[in-house]
């Protein structure tokens, strides 16, 4: 991906996301531009976030404290939301990276987008589809790591410190869109944007597909390839390359 020039506020729900993802999180955010804010939220007086503490200095994170005044209530959500709005009104960034698998942040994402803010979402496969589709782009952290870690094979345990409301999703639940649905939508996009010869510009098709499915990437389906290569290997599509321009059509 081309390095962009966005100014990004990276806000991490430390009670929902494992610190083992931090390198992936920072690398993904860096693809879009410069990270101006690096904040991770939680009750740092508890032992549940001790594993995050080792990552704070290494990755230049700012821990934001929020005391749990009510037992079993995750109050860091509210602190993150308030901070996000303060940062928004400061006018210092044009993009946010919201890192959580918690659907409670869906309204925050839609509110940021109302102010023409580009929102990058990151979370695990259990992230509710509403939060995924509210983002402009979404990265499934567990799928990203599965593709880069040759020794992967163990499911990442949920981060400690969340209430049952946050962590009781079944291991089989996933918001990853079935490939059958992806292909059906791709065919429709191609038909809508095709020239007389049946071919459509891949750059246009890819943009529209990303808008429809912000979380789409071949790694979600076990392949570490570019999207164009992913579809080129399917019998349903035909690819034509003319110098730097790529076209795609339905067979």
pLDDT digits (tens, 9 = 90+) for 12-51: 999 899 999 999 999 999 999 999 999 999 888 888 888 9
Examine the pLDDT at 205 and tell me if it is beyond 80: yes
Token pair 């919201």 in the structure block, residue:
98
- Point out the least confidently predicted range of 49-63, 100-114, 142-156: 142-156
Examine the pLDDT at 56 and tell me if it is beyond 80: yes
List C-alpha distances in Å: 130 to 26, 76, 107, 215: 23, 21, 10, 11
Domains in the chain (CATH in brackets) are: 6-167 (3.40.50.1010), 179-250 (3.30.420.610)
State the angle between helix axes of 22-30 and 141-148 in degrees (0 to 180), rounded to the nearest 10.
100
Integer Cα distance of 247 and 241 in angstroms: 6
What percentage of the chain carries pLDDT values higher than 90? 72
Q: DSSP letters of 85-114?
A: HHHHHHT--SEEEEE-S-GGGHHHHHHHHH
What percentage of the chain carries pLDDT values higher than 70? 85
State the angle between helix axes of 202-212 and 179-193 in degrees (0 to 180), rounded to the nearest 10.
130
pLDDT digits (tens, 9 = 90+) for 185-202: 999 999 999 999 999 999
Examine the pLDDT at 158 and tell me if it is beyond 90: no
Integer Cα distance of 150 and 12 in angstroms: 26
pLDDT digits (tens, 9 = 90+) for 169-180: 345 478 899 999
Buried b (16+ CB within 10 A) or exposed e, 195-226: eeeebbebeebbebbbebbbbbbbbbeeeeee
- What is residue 4's predicted lDDT score, i.e. its pLDDT? 67
State the angle between helix axes of 106-114 and 76-90 in degrees (0 to 180), rounded to the nearest 10.
10
Band of pLDDT at residue 155, cut at 50, 70 and 90: very low
- What is residue 68's predicted lDDT score, i.e. its pLDDT? 67
Side-chain-side CA neighbours of residue 90 (13 Å): 14
Band of pLDDT at residue 151, cut at 50, 70 and 90: very low
């Amino acid at each position: 991906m081309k390095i962009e020039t966005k100014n990004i506020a990276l806000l991490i729900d430390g009670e929902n996301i494992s610190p083992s993802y931090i390198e992936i999180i920072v690398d993904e955010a860096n693809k879009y531009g410069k990270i101006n804010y690096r904040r991770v939220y939680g009750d740092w007086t508890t032992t549940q976030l001790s594993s995050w503490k080792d990552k704070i200095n290494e990755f230049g994170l700012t821990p934001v404290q929020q005391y749990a005044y009510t037992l079993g209530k995750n109050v860091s959500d509210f602190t993150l939301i308030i901070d996000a709005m303060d940062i928004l009104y400061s006018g210092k960034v044009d993009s946010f990276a919201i890192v959580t698998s918690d659907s409670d942040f869906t309204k925050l994402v839609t509110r940021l987008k109302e102010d023409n803010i580009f929102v990058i979402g990151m979370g695990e496969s259990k992230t509710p589809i509403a939060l995924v589709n509210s983002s402009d782009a979404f990265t499934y952290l567990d799928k990203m790591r599965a593709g880069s870690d040759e020794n992967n094979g163990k499911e990442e345990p949920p981060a400690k410190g969340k209430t049952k409301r946050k962590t009781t999703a079944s291991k089989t639940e996933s918001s990853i869109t079935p490939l059958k649905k992806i292909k059906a939508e791709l065919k429709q996009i191609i038909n809508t944007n095709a020239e007389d010869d049946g071919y459509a510009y891949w750059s246009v098709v890819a943009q529209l597909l990303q808008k429809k499915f912000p979380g789409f990437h071949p790694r979600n389906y076990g392949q570490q390839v570019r999207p164009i290569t992913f579809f080129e290997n399917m019998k349903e599509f035909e690819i034509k390359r003319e110098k730097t321009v790529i076209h795609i059509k339905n067979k």
